[in-house]
Amino acid sequence: MIVVPPEHLNEELLTALIEDFITREGTDYGHGEFDLEGKVAQVRRQITQGKVLITFDEDTESCSLLPKREFENWQKVAGEAQ
């Protein structure tokens, strides 16, 4: 799995990836209700802040969003398996 810098994606693709993540994951946004636009903005901020990473899985040839902490755990487990 590799990390894809957000600036390597055009705005349309990045937005589609974020929307897919939001609708698929049932992501928790804390207190209050947010519409899709608000959720997209919140996830986009997390990507900009480095809290959420865009990942590409070479085995499945798919992109996803992953919290940085989960990616670091995956790296640790993958490193131990080698």
Encode pLDDT of 14-61 as tens digits.
999 999 988 885 555 555 567 889 999 999 999 999 999 999 999 999
DSSP secondary structure letters along 19-48: HHHHHHHT----SS---HHHHHHHHHHHHH
**In the chain, where the domains are located:** 2-81
Paired sense of beta strands 62-67 and 52-57, if any: antiparallel
Q: Specify the pLDDT at position 36.
A: 86
Domain 2-81 has CATH 1.10.10.610: yes
Helix (H, G, I), strand (E, B) or coil at 79: helix
In the structure encoding, which two tokens stand for residue 81, read together? 């398996």
- This model's pTM is above 0.75: yes
Q: Specify the pLDDT at position 14.
A: 95
